[in-house]
């Protein structure tokens, strides 16, 4: 039974990862389709001011973060940061509980 559970768990993880990759591919395709359209609209209707790079840079940044999420690249808030923050919050909660417990007993 344990082997079946592991296979099911592995299958669910693999399927989730495949969906994440599929979402990234869709994001890239839509980006590659829409940015040229926005560029054409800009150049046809407002040729005096090039605003399409702002769209491309903004959306490209979102696309970069999407790629980083799919590839599990977390330079800012990685697992180590999450573990430290969790411990910090748990310690803070414990201190708060101790203060509350002591104040009920008349201690400060």
Q: What is the pLDDT of residue 1?
A: 54
Predicted confidence (pLDDT) per residue in 40-49, tens digit: 999 999 999 9
First to last CA, the chain: 54
62 HSE (CA, 13 A, CB side): 9
pLDDT band at 76 (very low <50, low <70, confident <90, very high): confident
Q: What is the pLDDT of residue 108?
A: 52
What is the rounded average pLDDT of the residues 38-62?
97
What is the rounded average pLDDT of the residues 92-108?
80
Please choose, from the candidates 57, 54, 61, 63, the residue with its C-alpha nearest in 3D space to the C-alpha of residue 30: 63
Task: Please give the share of the chain, as a percent, with pLDDT higher than 70.
Answer: 94
pLDDT reading at 100 higher than 90 = no
Tokens 């490209």 -> residue: 60
Measure the CA–CA gap between 12 and 60, rounded to whole angstroms. 30
Please choose, from the candidates 39, 77, 70, the residue with its C-alpha nearest in 3D space to the C-alpha of residue 57: 39
Domain boundaries, the chain: 2-104
Cα 51 to chain center, whole Å? 27
Measure the CA–CA gap between 35 and 37, rounded to whole angstroms. 5
Alpha helices in 46-104 (DSSP H): 52-70, 79-104
């Amino acid at each position: 039974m344990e082997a079946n559970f592991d296979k099911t768990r592995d299958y669910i993880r693999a399927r989730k990862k495949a969906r994440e990759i599929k979402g990234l591919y869709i994001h890239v395709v839509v980006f590659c389709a829409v940015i040229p359209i926005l560029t054409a609209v800009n150049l046809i209707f407002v040729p005096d001011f090039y605003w399409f790079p702002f769209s491309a840079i903004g959306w490209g940044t979102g696309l970069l973060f999407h790629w980083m999420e799919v590839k599990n690249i977390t330079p800012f808030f990685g697992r180590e940061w999450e573990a430290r923050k969790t411990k910090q919050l748990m310690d803070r909660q414990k201190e708060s509980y101790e203060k509350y417990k002591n104040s009920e007993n008349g201690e400060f």
